[in-house]
Amino acid sequence: MTDPEYNNTLDQAIKTAFLDRDGVLNEKMQEGNYVTCWAEFRLLQGVAEAIRRLNRAGVRVIVVSNQRGIALGLYTAADVEAIHSSLQKVLQTQGAQIDDFFFCPHDKGQCNCRKPMPGLFEQAIVKYPEITADSSIMIGDSLSDVEFGQRLGIKTVFVDNGSAYHQKPGSSAARQLANRCAASLSEAVDWMLQKPTLA
C-alpha cells in the first residue's frame, strides 16, 4: 500500500518494477560462476533503500531471474528459494519487501521462461492479472533483460556498473537498446521517482 506521506511523483504511471537479481540486487559472480547459497550472496549497497522507496511509492516489486545453475546441477530450486527467503528477511529488517520472485530453472533453449523469452512475465500476470506492460518497467544488467522488456513492450533500464569483469557479453548492445542506463538500482529508482512518466 502506498505511504500517504510519500511523494509519489510517478503519478501511478509505473505500477510494477521487474528486477533482475544477480548484478542488480547482489554482486554478480564472474561469468560462468553462480551464487549457489546464501553465504555467497552479497547484497549491493543501497538496494534495500531503493526497494523501500519503491514500496512506499506503491510500486509492486517483482524479481525475475534466470537460474541456469539449477539445470547444470550446481544447486536446486529449493536452494534458490532459501536464498530468496533469507534476502526477504534482511530487507524486512530495513523496512523493504520484494512482492514476489519468479525464476527460470532451465538451460538455454529448453523453455519459454528463460529471459529474454516472456514466460516469467506470463507467470507474473497469472498471479497478478492487474499487471500490464505499459505500467511496468524492467531493470536489469544484461542484454537478455533489456530484450525481455522490449519484446513485451516494457520500458527498460540497463544497470551498467562499469565492471566488464562481471558483465555478460552484449552489454554494449544493451546500453544502446535500453530506454535508460543507470549505475545502480538506486540510481534507476532516483530517475523513476523524478519522472511523472517513462516516455
What is 53-96 written as a DSSP string?
HHHHTT-EEEEEEE-HHHHTTSS-HHHHHHHHHHHHHHHHHTT-
What pLDDT, in 10s, does the model give residues 91-139? 999 999 999 999 999 999 999 999 999 999 999 999 999 999 999 999 9
State the pLDDT confidence band at 159, using cuts at 50, 70 and 90: very high
Q: Please report, in angstroms and rounded to a whole number, the separation of the first and last CA atoms in the chain.
A: 25
Task: Please report where in the chains the cell 516472456 appears, as a residue.
Answer: 118
Most confident by average pLDDT, 2-11, 55-64, 173-182? 55-64
- Antiparallel, parallel or unpaired: β 155-159 and 100-104: unpaired
The pLDDT score that the predictor gives to residue 57 is 95
C-alpha cell recorded at residue 6? 510519500
Considering the entire predicted model, what is its pTM?
0.90
CA 61 to the chain's CA centroid: 8
The pLDDT score that the predictor gives to residue 2 is 42
- Side-chain half-sphere CA neighbours of 25 within 13 A: 25
Q: Kindly name the residue from 22, 141, 145, 160 that is annotated as catalytic.
A: 22
Give the chain's mean pLDDT. 90
Mean pLDDT computed over 44-59? 97
Q: Is the pLDDT of residue 7 over 80?
A: no
Can you list the positions of beta strands (E) in 67-189?
Answer: 100-104, 136-140, 155-159, 180-182
State the pLDDT confidence band at 166, using cuts at 50, 70 and 90: low
Enumerate the domain spans of the chain: 16-194
Task: Please report where in the chains the cell 534482511 appears, as a residue.
Answer: 90
CB 58 within 8 Å of CB 171? no
CATH code of the region 16-194: 3.40.50.1000
Q: Is the pLDDT of residue 8 over 50?
A: no
Q: Is the pLDDT of residue 164 over 80?
A: no
**For this structure, is 20 an active site residue?**
yes
Q: Kindly name the residue from 3, 11, 20, 145 that is annotated as catalytic.
A: 20
